[in-house]
Each structure stands twice: as structure tokens, then as C-alpha cells.
Amino acid sequence: MTSTSSNVRATLVGIAAGLVLAGCNNSSSGDQEATAEATPVATETATPNPALLPANALLTDPGVKDALRAAFPDPNTLFATVSTDLNADGNDEVIVYAYGPTACGSGGCSLLVFKRDASGLHAVTKTTVTHEPIRELATITNGWRDLSVGVSGGGAASRQVRLQYDGKSYPANPTVLPESATVGATDGTVLFEEPLQGAALPAS
């Protein structure tokens, strides 16, 4: 074999070896990229506001307990409760979602709002045929925060509607509110949603 042939063969071997090494490096880089893409990215979990979690200790409050027993004598009724200041007077209102055989119908269950002041607990409204989620909205009407509730049934599409305080109470039947009362499905701060954390009234 001539010297020229040997040099050509050596060059070809070197090129082939270089191509093999390049392929290995590319494969390794691809594996690294695939691994990086497959690694889940950590996401931040929202922390619930403890003040708005169901606070069923309210059910032991004599005023709350007596008011709810008068409204729903059936011992099978369950109540989820929260407290939040709807009218910015420095006193939290008691908001109750009642559900059970006598608190619900085909259109939904009952939402109650009670105002507390120095003289005790006073019923503001009882809104029937509501569905969760129940939310407190940022908007204010006649000094009180608007609420939103889910409505459905009767062949109508499900929607969230705004409940506005009229100076005395919130609407008693949200299903009759006009289309203009519809709000975004995720607007506001959640007060009640599934799964509900309700409890029965204490026996005594």
C-alpha cells in the first residue's frame, strides 16, 4: 500500500470517528433536554384565608343557634358558616349556608345573612334556591358588599348572579334576577364551595 493511500485511509477513519463522537454528544444533549422538559415545575399553591373558612364554632353561639333552629327545625339540616364584615361597621356579619331535606329544593339551598350589633343578632335576609359557590364581591351597594350565588334549573343555563343590598335585605329569590345581574364565574372571594363543611346544630 502506498503512503498516499495510507494517509487517505487514516483521514477517512478520523472523519468517521469524529462523526460518531458528534452523534453521541448530540444524543446526550437531547436526553438532557428531554429530561429537563419532563421535570415538573413547582407551582405555588394559594393559601386559603382562615377568616373565610367554615367556622362552625359559630353554631354554638346562642344567638346563631336559636336563629337557625327557628328557621330550620329539622335536626337533619346542616349549616356551613362564615363571618365577614359586609357593611364595614367593624362587626362581622354571620353568613350561613343551610342544606338538607327542608333547606333545599330542586333549585338549590338556602343562604342566610345575620347582622350583629350591641343588641344581638338580627336576620338580614334568607335567600333560597341558591347553589355554591357563594362569593363576596368587591362591589358595594347601599353600604353593603354585593354577594354572588349560583342559580340553575328550570331549563335555564347555570350562572352566577349578583345579590345587591337594597337598604333592608338582599334578594330572596335570585332566579328572577335579570340577565344584567350575571357576574363572572370566578369573581370575588369564595365564602362557600364544594365540598361543604357543614354541621348539625348542637343538641343543646
pLDDT in tens, 130-145: 999 999 999 999 999 9
How many C-beta atoms lie closer than 10 Å to residue 101's C-beta? Answer: 9
Q: Using the predicted structure, report yes or no on whether residue 6 has a pLDDT greater than 60.
A: no
- The structure's pTM equals 0.72
Residue with cell 327542608: 102
Q: Using the predicted structure, report yes or no on whether residue 62 has a pLDDT greater than 50.
A: yes
- Predicted confidence band of residue 55 (pLDDT cuts 50, 70, 90): low
Q: Using the predicted structure, report yes or no on whether residue 111 has a pLDDT greater than 70.
A: yes
With a CB cutoff of 8 Å and minimum separation 6, the contacts of 33 are none
The DSSP code for 47 is P
